[in-house]
């Protein structure tokens, strides 16, 4: 990104194009005015005194967008500006001053203007006149916000090394943020000790929240793809905590991004990336261990963007497309066999190198129409289509994986009206998300196990069959008033109607467990046809149930008010309050089946003293559940400019932020009762059971027919069926956030560095957790003498199966020190550096919260018994440094990431058992520890050269090298510590799984005009 803009004198109507570009920036269907538009405010003085009468005009140098305000007692405030380069003109008492600046997404920039004398730029040099061909502008630095926020610029997005074109990958250059790319290529963005579910991303103000699935935003649960085309992203802002009241459906970090728009000049570009082919990458540890060479692999990414005027100064367009074609390498490697045994030739042929194909098509288009100086209309749309084969490798053979379609469409129609003191934004939005994983084949699945029932290989048909998503529309209106001196009032209202659904039938294929070699008749020459399973787990449709798609027509309401109160030139206070409310009829109107109610009320096990819960809290009548009504969210912040020069600012804040419960969890109460799962035993050699033709059967090959299995349970379909129940008083997860910090602009030589140091404390509460409701006949959970384990899975609901109940209970507690330093890249100084350090001290009352969002706990009666452990997946120390240098038409860039060992969950059963009749984990404990080999280090570099043909066409060649040192960043570990006083000899050792990439090379070509 070069800090130059081609400018010519233009008539006032050009205003529309720029305004229209800014419109989308403030749009938000799923949130109340998560504004991406910028604000410029400050003082106009004449002879060092506030100007009595002054007119201030902001003109976008690319589109001609013009905003005018009258200063009040010298103070002015120009809002609703799309990020970009602006000329700010002030006229007071017949004297003028002009400054050319760059404002960023969602920024509130302070620019004081002294009328009279020589006009100055933001860097203090002479201002360039409007008639010149090129102006040089300096980026404004926002120092007076109470938010814990950092910007990611266009130059960083375009220049820094990046393996995938997911624009969120750059968010980890911000202190407190982590962008994970797992070994299978899927990605997630998270912050602090909370899971990725707490994130929300706003594209041009449009919230991308996923209401059904994990990942925080639409399409990021188990996806290798991108939520939005990177070519369309201009820049974005990351707020890790203490956002203002306008942000909703969030408990962790907010990312607010602005998209590119058309201008009065036609511009376009094209790119093609090629990476990860076997010759350009190092082997993975799994490939090295298998000794079969590199798996087929490759990554092709390509795309184009084009924008310009349809009607000059009035109507503009921008359109972009990006495609992905991936082959992600993996290796099918069997688990441990018993000593002296090997896989049969048939099974051995199923192991070795494999790869997972993935394809994505991403489109984005935007129309910007400036009707006149006060009115603009903008229409934007995004469409994404993903298809892949996934879940291959490790223990899963090629047939055991699944196909997956992951699609997204979002549309935003915006109307904006403005005058000197008022800015009104109205939005009508539509969104549709679809997620459809399916087993590759419909055939029996075989879980090959060793004598200890550890899995060796998964063969045949997989288990997955889902269809989940959301489809709805929204309306919001946001109003800003700046007519009262020293105040910026903002208020908004949102209504949203969205149909959400969660359909699943798991396992769709019956899963047969086979003890290898105990159930193999003829070792060395046997095939699957000769294996005898000792157990089968299958799901069956419940008779009399029609549509098994669990749906809910949700209604969302939100309202907020906030005031940015500039008390004087040093102190600014932000006061805000928001309220959110959501109705989920599927949960609120659900009626527990009467036969289940009768069984539960007659189940003596849960009516003993000390059971720990009241089953009546989970029995729903259809009238005893209400939507959560207490989502009041006060938010307050301040900034104090020590010397009123924006160079040394103390800031801080406190606030509460509510997220929402995922519908995928709420739907389990109904989906488990429409497609219950069963486990039956077979009397086979080495796995004898008493044949009763109810729970245990003599093996017969006819049981490989799933219809025959259905017949076994048809007479009593509730028998053995898992039951899920949700608390009738379910709350919504939230976080309380506190911060205190200081921003400084420090000058070393002639170079300014922007720095900040912030202390953050965040507590999150009321995350949903599923625990076991079964109890022994005396009402206890652990059984006599136990303090851990021994869960009463063998004590089902009479006539049914296991009871699993859902409550609020997951909590995290985090203290962080965030250090940030940046030397921006400027026209005068063609190098830039960012340095981000995060120290984290986090705890949670359940292992796995941050890393995988595990929402089940079965080893403990409830989270009251679960120990508080170090936050899983959160390193104590994390450093990310970047550098960019431009010279001789080259752009050199680098990125270094280091984090200390992250906490991993473990199970410790080493305490000797005093009673030999008890199992070895009767006195075990779940914990989290820091394995030494869990440190992470990656150093990437990129070199880019641009060639100008002189005919308006430029072409680019670029090379990226990732993980130069080929650091092996282990991601999975042996986490079982040992049993009965004996330490597991491989405890703490890593497996072959790593975080990609290995050392690899990417080659890119591009054209621009």
List the alpha helices (DSSP H) in 758-837: none
**Residue 110 sits in the same domain as residue 180:** no
The answer to which of 37-46, 116-125, 177-186, 869-878 has the lowest mean pLDDT is 116-125
Mean predicted confidence (pLDDT) in 524-537? 71
Give the domain CATH number at 204: 2.170.130.10
Q: How many Cα atoms occupy the beta-carbon half-sphere of 957 within 13 Å?
A: 2
Q: Is the pLDDT of residue 11 over 50?
A: no
d(CA 80, CA 23) in angstroms, rounded, equals 7
Question: Between 912 and 608, where is the model more confident?
Answer: 608
**Shared-domain flag, residues 123 and 8:** yes
Is residue 113 within 8 A of residue 68, CB to CB? The reply is no
Range of the domain at 207: 148-259
Q: Is 221 part of a structural domain of the chain? A: yes
Which of 139, 156, 172 is the last residue before a domain boundary? 139
Lowest mean pLDDT among 6-10, 331-335, 883-887: 6-10
Residues 187 and 86 occupy one common structural domain: no
Contacts of 257 by beta carbon, 8 Å cutoff, 6+ apart: 36, 105, 167, 201, 202, 203, 204, 228, 233, 234, 235, 236, 237
Residue 66 corresponds to which tokens in the numbers above? 């013009």
**CB 64 within 8 Å of CB 100:** no
| Nearest-angstrom CA–CA distance, 146 and 167 | 25
Residue 714: partners with Cβ closer than 8 Å, 6 or more residues away: 543
Cβ(1003)–Cβ(274) below 8 Å: yes
Chain-centre distance for alpha carbon 875: 18
Please say whether the beta carbons of 448 and 348 come within 8 A: no
**Distance separating the N- and C-terminal Cα atoms of the chain:** 15
**In this structure, are residues 128 and 140 in contact, taking their beta carbons and an 8 Å threshold?**
no
Specify whether 111 is located in the same domain as 152.
no
Q: What pLDDT, on the 0 to 100 scale, is given for residue 916?
A: 65
In this prediction, residues 956-963 reach a mean pLDDT of 96
Cβ count near 375 (within 10 Å): 14
48 and 131: one domain?
A: yes
Which of 203-207, 478-482, 747-751, 769-773 shows the lowest mean pLDDT across its residues?
203-207
Average pLDDT, the chain: 86
Q: CB atoms < 10 A from the CB of 311, how many?
A: 12
pLDDT at 138 over 70: no
pLDDT digits (tens, 9 = 90+) for 257-310: 988 999 889 999 999 999 989 999 999 888 888 787 888 889 999 999 999 999
Identify whether residues 184 and 241 lie together within a single domain: yes
Measure the CA–CA gap between 857 and 8, rounded to whole angstroms. Answer: 65
Residue 458: is its pLDDT beyond 90? yes
At 10 the pLDDT is: 34
Q: pLDDT tens, 733-773?
A: 999 999 999 999 999 888 899 999 999 999 999 999 999 99
Segment 307-319 mean pLDDT? 93
Domain boundary among 201, 233, 259: 259
Residue 672, domain member (yes or no): no
Residues 6+ apart with CB under 8 A from 22: 37, 38, 65, 80, 81, 82, 83
User: Residue 285 belongs to what H/E stretch?
Assistant: helix 285-290
Residues in the chain, total: 1009
Q: Is residue 116 part of a domain?
A: yes
Residues 122 and 198 in one domain: no
101 and 123 assigned to the same domain? yes
The answer to whether residue 529 sits within a structural domain is no
One domain for residues 120 and 237: no
**Whole-number pLDDT of residue 9:** 34
Q: pLDDT tens digit string along 228-267?
A: 999 999 889 999 999 999 999 999 999 999 889 998 899 9
> How many domains does the chain fold into?
2
Tell me the H-state helices in 468-576: none
Average pLDDT over residues 885-904: 93
- Picking from 463, 421, 419, 473, the residue whose alpha carbon sits closest to that of residue 441 is 463
Residues 6+ apart with CB under 8 A from 166: 187, 225, 226, 227, 230
- Do 160 and 194 sit in the same domain of this protein? yes
CA 344 to chain centre: 43
Tell me how far CA of residue 922 lies from CA of 229, 682, 685, 981, in angstroms.
52, 28, 29, 13
Q: Please, are residues 403 and 52 in contact by the beta-carbon 8 Å criterion? A: no
Write out the two tokens for 340: 């002296």
**Residue 43 in domain:** yes
Q: Indicate the Cα dihedral angle 639, 644, 647, 650, nearest 10°.
A: -20
What does the pLDDT read at residue 920? 65
* pLDDT at residue 187 in the model: 85
CA distance 412 to 409: 10
> Of 139, 169, 188, which residue constitutes the final position of a domain?
139
Across the strands, what pairs with 15? none
Do 154 and 236 lie in a common domain? yes
Write down the pLDDT at residue 201: 92
| Separation of alpha carbons 317 and 265, rounded Å | 11
Q: Token match 């404990």: residue? A: 925
Return the percentage of the chain with pLDDT > 70, whole number: 91
Mean pLDDT along residues 919-937:
82
Evaluate whether residue 238 is within a structural domain: yes
Tens digits of residue pLDDT in 978-997: 887 788 888 888 888 888 89
The CATH number covering residue 93 comes to 2.60.40.10
Q: Hey, how many other C-beta atoms are within 10 angstroms of the C-beta on 761?
A: 16
Candidates 378, 300, 287; CA nearest to 37 is 378
- pLDDT over 70 (residue 604): yes
Q: Is the same domain home to 133 and 227? A: no
Domain assignment present for residue 33? The answer is: yes
In a domain, residue 508? The reply is: no
Is the pTM value of this prediction over 0.85?
yes
């Amino acid at each position: 990104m070069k800090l130059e803009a081609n400018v010519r004198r233009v008539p006032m109507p050009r205003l529309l194009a720029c305004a229209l570009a800014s419109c989308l920036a403030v749009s938000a269907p799923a949130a109340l005015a998560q504004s991406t538009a910028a604000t410029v405010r400050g003082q106009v003085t004449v002879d060092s005194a506030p100007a009595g009468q002054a007119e201030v005009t902001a003109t976008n140098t690319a589109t001609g967008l013009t905003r005018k305000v009258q200063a009040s007692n010298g103070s002015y405030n120009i809002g609703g500006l799309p990020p970009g380069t602006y000329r700010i003109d002030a006229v007071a008492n017949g004297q003028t001053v002009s400054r050319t600046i760059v404002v960023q997404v969602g920024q509130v920039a302070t620019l004081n203007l002294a009328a009279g004398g020589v006009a100055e730029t933001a860097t203090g040099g002479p201002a360039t006149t409007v008639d010149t061909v090129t102006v040089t502008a300096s980026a404004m630095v926002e120092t007076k916000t109470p938010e814990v926020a950092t910007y990611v610029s266009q130059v960083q997005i375009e220049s820094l090394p990046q393996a995938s074109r997911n624009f969120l990958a750059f968010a980890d250059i911000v202190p407190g943020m982590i962008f994970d790319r797992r070994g299978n290529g899927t990605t997630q963005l998270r912050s602090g000790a909370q899971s990725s579910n707490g994130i929300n991303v706003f594209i041009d103000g449009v919230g991308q929240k996923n209401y059904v699935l994990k990942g925080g935003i639409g399409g990021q649960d188990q996806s290798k793809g991108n939520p939005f085309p990177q070519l369309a992203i201009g820049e974005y802002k990351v707020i890790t905590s203490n956002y203002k009241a306008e942000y909703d459906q969030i408990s962790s970090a907010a990312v607010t991004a602005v998209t590119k728009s058309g201008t009065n000049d036609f511009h376009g570009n094209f790119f093609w990336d090629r990476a990860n082919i076997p010759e350009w990458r190092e082997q993975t540890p799994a490939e090295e261990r298998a000794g079969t060479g590199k798996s087929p692999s490759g990554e092709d990414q390509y795309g184009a963007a084009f924008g310009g005027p349809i009607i000059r100064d009035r109507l503009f367009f921008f359109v972009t497309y990006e495609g992905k074609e991936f082959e992600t390498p993996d290796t099918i490697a069997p688990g441990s066999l018993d000593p002296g045994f090997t896989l049969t030739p048939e099974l051995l042929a199923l192991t070795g190198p494999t790869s997972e194909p993935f394809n994505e098509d991403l489109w984005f288009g935007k129309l910007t129409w400036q009707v006149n100086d006060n009115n603009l209309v903008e229409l934007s749309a995004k469409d994404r289509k993903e298809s892949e084969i996934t879940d291959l490798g490790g223990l899963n053979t090629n047939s055991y994986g699944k196909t997956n379609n992951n699609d997204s469409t979002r549309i935003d129609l915006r109307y904006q009206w403005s005058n000197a003191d008022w800015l009104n934004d109205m939005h009508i939005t539509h969104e549709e998300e679809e997620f459809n994983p399916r087993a590759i084949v419909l055939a029996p699945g075989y879980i090959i196990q060793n004598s200890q029932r550890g899995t060796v290989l998964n063969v045949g048909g997989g288990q997955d069959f889902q269809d989940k998503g959301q489809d709805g529309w929204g309306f919001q209106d946001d109003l800003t008033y700046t007519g009262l001196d020293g105040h910026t009032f903002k208020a908004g209202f949102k209504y949203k109607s969205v149909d959400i659904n969660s359909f699943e039938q798991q396992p769709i294929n019956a899963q047969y467990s086979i003890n290898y070699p105990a159930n193999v008749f003829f070792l060395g020459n046997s095939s699957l046809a000769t294996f005898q399973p000792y157990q089968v787990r299958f799901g069956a449709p419940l008779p009399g149930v029609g549509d098994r798609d669990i749906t809910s027509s949700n209604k969302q309401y939100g309202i907020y008010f906030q005031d940015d109160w500039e008390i004087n030139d040093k102190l600014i206070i932000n006061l805000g309050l928001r309220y959110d409310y959501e109705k989920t009829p599927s949960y609120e109107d659900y009626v527990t089946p009467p036969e289940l109610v009768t069984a539960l009320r007659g189940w003596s096990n849960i009516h003993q003293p000390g059971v720990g819960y009241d089953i009546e809290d989970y029995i729903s009548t259809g009238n005893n559940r209400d939507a959560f009504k207490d989502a009041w969210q006060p938010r307050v912040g301040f900034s104090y400019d020590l010397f009123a020069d924006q160079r040394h600012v103390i800031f801080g804040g406190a606030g509460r932020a509510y997220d929402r419960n995922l519908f995928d969890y709420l739907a389990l109460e109904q989906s488990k009762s429409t497609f219950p799962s069963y486990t039956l035993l077979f009397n086979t050699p080495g796995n004898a059971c008493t044949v009763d033709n109810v729970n245990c059967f003599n093996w017969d090959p006819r049981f490989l027919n799933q219809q025959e299995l259905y017949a076994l349970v048809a007479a009593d379909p509730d028998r053995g069926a898992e039951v899920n129940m949700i608390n009738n008083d379910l709350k919504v997860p939230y976080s309380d956030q506190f911060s205190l910090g200081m921003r400084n602009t420090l000058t070393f030589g002639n170079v300014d560095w922007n720095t900040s140091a912030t202390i953050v404390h965040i507590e999150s509460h009321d995350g949903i957790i599923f625990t076991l409701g079964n109890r022994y006949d005396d009402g206890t959970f652990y059984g006599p003498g136990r303090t851990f384990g021994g869960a009463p899975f063998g004590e089902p609901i009479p006539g049914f199966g296991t009871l699993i109940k859902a409550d609020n209970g997951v909590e995290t507690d985090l203290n962080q020190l965030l250090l940030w330093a940046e030397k921006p890249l400027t026209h005068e100084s063609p190098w830039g550096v960012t340095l981000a350090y995060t120290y984290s001290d986090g705890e949670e009352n359940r292992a796995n919260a941050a890393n995988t969002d595990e929402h089940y706990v079965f080893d403990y009666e409830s989270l009251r018994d679960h120990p508080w452990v170090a936050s899983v997946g959160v390193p104590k120390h994390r450093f990310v440094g970047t550098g960019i240098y431009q010279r001789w038409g080259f752009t050199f860039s680098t990125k270094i990431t280091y984090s200390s060992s992250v906490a991993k969950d473990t199970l410790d059963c080493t305490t000797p058992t005093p009673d030999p009749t008890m199992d070895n984990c009767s006195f075990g404990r779940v914990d989290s520890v820091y394995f030494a080999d869990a440190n992470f280090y990656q150093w990437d570099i990129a070199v880019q050269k641009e060639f100008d043909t002189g005919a308006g066409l430029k072409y680019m060649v670029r090379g990226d090298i990732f993980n130069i040192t080929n650091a092996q960043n282990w991601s999975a570990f042996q986490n079982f510590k040992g049993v009965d006083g004996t330490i597991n000899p491989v405890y703490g050792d890593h497996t072959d799984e790593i975080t990609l990439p290995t050392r690899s090379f990417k080659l890119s070509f591009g054209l621009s005009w």
